[in-house]
Amino acid sequence: MLELGVFSWFGYPAPFERRLGLIKQAGFESTCLWLGDEEEEVRAGRADSMPSLVQEKGLVLDNAHAPYKNCNRLWSASATDVQEAVAEYRTCLLFCRNHAIRTMVMHITEGEDPPPFNARGLSAIEDIAKLAESCGVVLALENTRRSDYLDAVFSNLGSPSIGFCYDSSHDFMADKSKGRILQRWGHLLAATHLSDSRQGDTDDHLVPEEGTIDWAEIGRPFRESNYERTLMLEVDGSSSAGSLPPVEFLTRCYRWLGEFRETLRNK
């Protein structure tokens, strides 16, 4: 179907419900949630109200993003650290199950120097995947700075509950595979984080066409993947050129995403 969506945090400080209204007003059909305490609703203990607010605004809730600050603990030499990381993902998965959210995005590494890849971490991710399957949720593992870990997990675990979240800014900014990771794992694509990058060391989250990503080149592996879920933008208005009011910013994003969708349909 290729619905058009944008992350519920798009760089403009405003109450959650107000942001949803702006997203709907701009024309988007879908959004996604952040489950970390940086989101006011989570911090205030109102996380369970977020899915119903999304529905009330007439939006589709495509996925929820688990916090990632403890993800390197998956690879820790300490069994306690690993267990704590798994417990955090378990909590997020149960949230998704309880609210019929079909996809949970998660990171498996943070930064450039996580602990070494090891069998304990791989086993932990396998356990998370088994829980995800029992919850009816797909784990969309996101490419970050160390795609070699992602490659290893995808190569070693064949769970039907494991998918891929393609982040274009991470791809060009950090890993610089420039679409090759999408070519490798596009058949597992379950979610997207689309934004532009200046290809430096900063995760810019720019509106596409403000950075240096070749979107025509990105379109090829998208078409080959036969992806039919939501095209989700993960953009930050505070990083973009100019100072647009939020409605104008989101309208601009919606217009670009609609044009990109048309290029994917023209196979």
Q: In the prediction, which pLDDT does 240 show?
A: 64
Per-residue confidence (pLDDT) for residue 234, from 0 to 100: 96
Our count of domains for the chain comes to 1
Q: Please give the pLDDT value at position 178.
A: 83
Q: Looking at the chain, which runs of residues are DSSP E strands?
A: 4-6, 30-34, 60-65, 103-106, 138-142, 162-167, 189-193, 231-233
Q: Closest by alpha carbon to 145, among 216, 68, 210? A: 68
For residue 160, give the CATH number of its domain: 3.20.20.150
What is the distance between the alpha carbons of residues 89 and 126, in angstroms, rounded to a whole number? Answer: 12
Cα(257)–Cα(102) distance, integer angstroms: 22
Q: How far apart are CA 59 and CA 24, in angstroms?
A: 7
Instruction: Check residue 254 and give its pLDDT.
Output: 97
Residue range(s) defining the domain that contains residue 10: 4-244+253-265
Residue 242's region, left for phi above 0, alpha for psi from -120 to 50, else beta, is left
- Give the pLDDT score at 217: 86
Pairwise CA distance, residues 196 & 236, whole Å: 10
pTM of this structure: 0.95
pLDDT < 70 regions, the chain: 175, 200-202, 239-242, 267
Listed residue (237, 145, 141) closest to 196, CA to CA = 237
